[in-house]
Amino acid sequence: MEASCSRCLLLLFLLTCELAPEVAGEVEESSDGPGTAQGPIWLTDVPTAEEFISAAEVAIVGFFQDLEIPVVSVFHSMVQKFQDVSFGISNNSEVLAHYNITRNSISLFRLVDNEQLKLEGEEVENMEAAKLSLFIETNSLRLVTEYNTKTGFGLFNTMIEIHLLLVISKASPEYAENMNRYRKAARLFQGKILFVLVDSGMKENEKVISFFKLKKSQLPALAIYRTFDDQWDTLPITEVTVEHVKNFCDGFLEGKLLRENRTSEEKTPKVEL
C-alpha cells in the first residue's frame, strides 16, 4: 500500500503513524449495538452469490475449498463484529470457479468503486482475528465513508482519485437531514468522486480540518481533494443540498478553485448566530 501511496502526501501526513497493528485491538464501537447471533450467508450457487454481492455496499465472502482451516472460525467471528457488513461463505465448486478462486481466499467486494480486494493462500489460512478485522475496517468504503485513521488508509487503496469531504458535527441537530442529502448527491458521482464524512466533533479529525485551513466558524463545510496533484478546494456552507454539492464538484472538475477568490474575503468569515 505504501508504494502506491508515495503521492498521497496529504493523508499520510494526516494519519501520522497511528495505523500500528495494535489499533486493531482497540475496543470496537458497534454502530448498532449487540446484534443477534448470525452466521454468514451460504452461497450455494452462482446466481445466489452474484445477487448477494451486488445487493451489498460492502460484502465479504469467504471462498473456502477446505472448511477445516483455522481462518474459517475467525471468519465466522467477524459476522458478529461488523453488523453493517454482509458476510457470505461458499465451498461450492461452481461458485469458486466463477470467481476464479484456486486457493482458499477471502474477498471484499464493494459497490462504491466496483472493486474486489482479495486475501488468499497461506496469508489467509492462518490469519488472526486482529489482522482480518483491520483489513475489513480499512477497506470497507461505502457510498459515504466515515473518515477515521483506518478508512483514511483505505481511501487511497482505490482508483478513484477525487475525494469529497463533508466536515460536520455528527452531534448537530441538522446532521441527519444533511447526511441524507449528501448521500443522495453521492449517487450522482458514484465511481468518479469518493464521498467522505468527517465528524468535526472528533478530536482526532482536527488535523484534517486544519489541513484544509478551515476554521470552526466556517463549519459545516465541503472540502475536495485530488490525490494525483494534491489540488484541493473548500466551500463553507450553511446546509447541504444536492445542488450545492453538485455545483461544487462540477466546478472543481472544471478547474475552478473557489478558495483563491475567498482569501480576500477571509477578513469577514461566515458568522454563526
Ligand X SMILES: *[C@@H]1O[C@H](CO)[C@@H](O)[C@H](O)[C@H]1NC(C)=O
- CB atoms inside a 10 Å sphere around CB 234: 22
| CB nearer ligand X, residue 31 or residue 261 | 261
Query: Which strands, in side-by-side order, build the sheet including 105-110?
Result: 41-42, 86-90, 58-63, 105-110, 115-120
For the chain, the straight-line distance linking the first and the last C-alpha, in angstroms and rounded, comes to 45
Task: Tell which positions 159-198 bind ligand X, by CB under 6 A.
Answer: none
Stretch in the footprint of ligand X (CB under 6 A) among 15-23, 97-105, 179-187, 240-248 = 97-105
Q: Does residue 256 bind ligand X (CB under 6 A)?
A: yes
For residue 265, give the nearest of 236, 245, 242, 243 by alpha carbon. Answer: 236
Out of 100, 263, 264, 268, the only residue in the binding site for ligand X (CB under 6 A) is 100
Contact between residue 134 and residue 24 where contact means Cβ atoms under 8 Å apart: yes
| CB nearer ligand X, residue 68 or residue 122 | 68
Give the shortest CB-261-to-ligand X separation in angstroms: 4
Stretch in the footprint of ligand X (CB under 6 A) among 47-55, 134-142, 203-211, 253-261 = 253-261
Stretch in the footprint of ligand X (CB under 6 A) among 55-63, 72-80, 205-213, 254-262 = 254-262
Q: Does residue 117 bind ligand X (CB under 6 A)?
A: no
Contacts of 71 (CB under 8 A, 6+ apart): 62, 104, 106, 124, 125, 126, 127, 132
Give the shortest CB-161-to-ligand X separation in angstroms: 21
Q: Does residue 7 bind ligand X (CB under 6 A)?
A: no
DSSP 196-224: EEEETT-GGGHHHHHHTT--GGG-SEEEE
Q: Does residue 1 bind ligand X (CB under 6 A)?
A: no
Q: Which residues bind ligand X (CB under 6 A)?
A: 67, 91, 93, 98-100, 256, 258, 261
